[in-house]
Amino acid sequence: MRFAREALERLRSYPWPGNVRELDNEIERAVALAYSDTITLADLSDPLQQQNALAAAGARSLLKDSEKQLIEQALHDSKGNKTLTAQRLGMSREGLRKKLKRLGME
Per-residue pLDDT of the chain (106 residues; tens, 9 = 90+): 899 998 888 888 888 877 888 999 999 999 998 888 999 988 998 888 877 665 656 666 777 888 899 999 999 999 999 999 999 999 999 999 999 998 888 7
CATH code at 90?
Answer: 1.10.10.60
The pTM (predicted TM-score) of the whole model is 0.49
The parent domain of residue 1 ranges over 1-44
Same domain, 74 and 100: yes
Distance CA 69, CA 81 (A): 16
Same domain, 66 and 39: no
Residue 94 lies in a domain: yes
Residue 52: C-alpha distances to residues 14, 47, 59 (Å): 9, 10, 10
Number of domains comprising the chain: 2
Residue 51 lies in a domain: no
Same domain, 38 and 73: no
